[in-house]
Amino acid sequence: MLGRIGRLAGLVLMLAGVLAASARADTTGQERMIERARLVLDTLLDDPNYAQMRVYVQNAYAVMVVPDLLKGSFFIGAEHGVGVMLIRNPQTGGWGQPAFYDLYGGSLGLQFGGQSSDVVFTIMNQAAVDKVVNSGIKLGADAAVAVGRLGAGIGAATTVRFGEDIYVFAKSKGLFGGFSIDGTYIRAKDNWNTSFYGQPVRSHDVLRDFGQPRSQDVADLREALSRF
């Protein structure tokens, strides 16, 4: 009898281990995305061409980082990326937990080429944050968006005006001559959020959780934002 109980206990422990490993595997993509987002922030922070970005992050209500936003076209253009968004605590200035978002768009016209961009969105007012969190947005239609000023001669002390809802800073590689973001949709990536937090969650609740970081990767991402 004791032997049977022991074997049963062993099977239960083994099953628990398998389930734990499975849960960890399910969040690999999300953890990798958070790490990549941190690397993007570190890279832009150390690049003098993006010095002006500091003042936008410092004054942002929320920040979204999208590593490798892909854009390609052959008459019909398409783009897609996955990003991570954090909201600033209005009382302390700290950052909340991350939520994952899909970005996608398309266009028609005479266009050829491909491009990969590391992109940072600074969301500059509460109304724009609420639109992203509550229902998602179409950039340029539901929120005014502008590409941030870049250049080694532009410093954080330069006078700036936060007249747009969202500013975009992008570091691009590819064949397109410029960078445009109008017409891009941003929607919560619910399956990733559910997997990462282990239960069905709403972006609204996740983003406004200003408690202890869920993991070391999240702590590192928060730290990267605080360096601005």
Q: How far are the Cα atoms of 32, 142, 212, 213 from residue 206, in angstroms, in the given order?
A: 19, 23, 12, 11
Give 75-95 pLDDT, tens digit per residue.
445 678 999 999 999 999 999
Where exactly are the structural domains of the chain?
27-226
CB atoms within 10 A of CB 189: 21
pLDDT confidence tier of residue 157, bands split at 50, 70 and 90 = very low
pTM given for the model: 0.78
3-state secondary structure at position 89: coil
pLDDT above 90: percentage of residues in the chain: 48
Contacts of 70 (CB under 8 A, 6+ apart): 79, 80, 81, 114, 115, 116
Contacts of 126 (CB under 8 A, 6+ apart): 61
CA geometry: angle 163, 169, 174, nearest 5 deg: 140
Give 133-151 pLDDT, tens digit per residue.
988 888 877 777 777 655 4
- Give the helix ranges, DSSP H, for 46-73: 53-59
Give, for 9, the enclosing helix (H) or strand (E): helix 2-26
3-state secondary structure at position 108: strand
Contacts of 21 (CB under 8 A, 6+ apart): none
Please give the Cα distance from 39 to 171 (Å, whole number). Answer: 13
Give 26-46 pLDDT, tens digit per residue.
678 999 999 999 999 999 999
